[in-house]
Copies of this chain bind each other. A is one copy, B any other.
């Protein structure tokens, strides 16, 4: 098991012939992901590395029955691409694109609500279920199949965490980068629920950062539902000054809200182990899991 995507996921790449799209399609194919089609308007009928290219997602869906899409379309056109995927009935839509205007995402998020689509991103590294499939841009080789679920608002910080987990002997069931923008398709709570149901997952790591209230909501969910698996968290931005956008559009402390200290407090009150020193994350988790009888993945 794993969540959202696995070896059976049939992936469509929107923007497959672009610079980013083509590079990462190759990487995904190398990882073993089932990329069954791509979409680039006006390039329908051609092939990219034996992957058929279509003009529309609707057509791609009809011809290949793809159920996951990964979007590498420039920001001004990405909202349209998300709507297209959702309208065509794609179940999991991963939008890698960075820099989409937030009000465009407000419209898109409300439009696809109730449409049965799970949107991951935008501005995210994607999803990987190690050993099964990779839908996104993360370096596959640092991952290892295992029992820890990872949910993150960040990109390279996730790689760091995954790297330490793998070094510590713990593989991952699924790692999801939910995106660094203020309005994204899913939140920590959504994936906590998914991991709760997933038998492969025995522990969850949340990688949060300043801005918004998603970490507090996760803490609330964990405490309200007596979450049955151990949860760890790391929050980036303890030293970030207010009113400055720290790289991510979503990482900003404004009106005195969204600071790291409040998040850490809420998480700890919910019984979540918050790791403050990133350099010790892997060993801390190893120690804790071992002491709870959850052994490393061999």
Q: What is the oligomeric copy number?
A: 2
- Cβ-closest chain B residue relative to A115: B114
Interface string of A132-161 (1 = CB under 8 A from B): 000000000000000000000000000000
Write out the residue numbers on chain B whose beta carbons fall within 8 Å of the beta carbon of A113.
114
Q: How far is the CB of A100 from chain B (nearest CB, A)?
A: 24
Listed in ascending order, the chain A residues whose CB lies under 8 Å from chain B are 113-114
Tell me, in angstroms, the Cα distance from A95 to B113 when the chains sit together: 26
Write out the residue numbers on chain B whose beta carbons fall within 8 Å of the beta carbon of A114.
113-114
- Cβ-closest chain B residue relative to A116: B114
Tell me, in angstroms, the Cα distance from A114 to B112 when the chains sit together: 11
Q: How far is the CB of A143 from chain B (nearest CB, A)?
A: 36
Tell me, in angstroms, the Cα distance from A114 to B114 when the chains sit together: 6
2 smallest A-B Cβ distances: which pairs?
Answer: A114-B114, A113-B114
Tell me, in angstroms, the Cα distance from A114 to B117 when the chains sit together: 14
Tell me, in angstroms, the Cα distance from A251 to B114 when the chains sit together: 32
- 2 residue pairs from A and B, CB less than 8 Å apart: A113-B114, A114-B114
Q: How far is the CB of A289 from chain B (nearest CB, A)?
A: 41
Q: How far is the CB of A235 from chain B (nearest CB, A)?
A: 34
Tell me, in angstroms, the Cα distance from A110 to B114 when the chains sit together: 12
- Cβ-closest chain B residue relative to A113: B114
Tell me, in angstroms, the Cα distance from A113 to B114 when the chains sit together: 9
Q: How far is the CB of A254 from chain B (nearest CB, A)?
A: 28
Tell me, in angstroms, the Cα distance from A168 to B113 when the chains sit together: 49
Q: How far is the CB of A118 from chain B (nearest CB, A)?
A: 16
Tell me, in angstroms, the Cα distance from A188 to B113 when the chains sit together: 27
Q: How far is the CB of A86 from chain B (nearest CB, A)?
A: 13
Tell me, in angstroms, the Cα distance from A6 to B131 when the chains sit together: 56
Tell me, in angstroms, the Cα distance from A217 to B283 when the chains sit together: 63
Tell me, in angstroms, the Cα distance from A114 to B113 when the chains sit together: 9
Q: How far is the CB of A109 from chain B (nearest CB, A)?
A: 14
Tell me, in angstroms, the Cα distance from A113 to B113 when the chains sit together: 11
- Cβ-closest chain B residue relative to A114: B114
Q: How far is the CB of A209 from chain B (nearest CB, A)?
A: 32
Tell me, in angstroms, the Cα distance from A149 to B113 when the chains sit together: 34
Q: How far is the CB of A218 from chain B (nearest CB, A)?
A: 25
Tell me, in angstroms, the Cα distance from A249 to B114 when the chains sit together: 31
Q: How far is the CB of A124 from chain B (nearest CB, A)?
A: 25
Q: How far is the CB of A89 from chain B (nearest CB, A)?
A: 15
Q: How far is the CB of A291 from chain B (nearest CB, A)?
A: 46
Tell me, in angstroms, the Cα distance from A24 to B114 when the chains sit together: 36
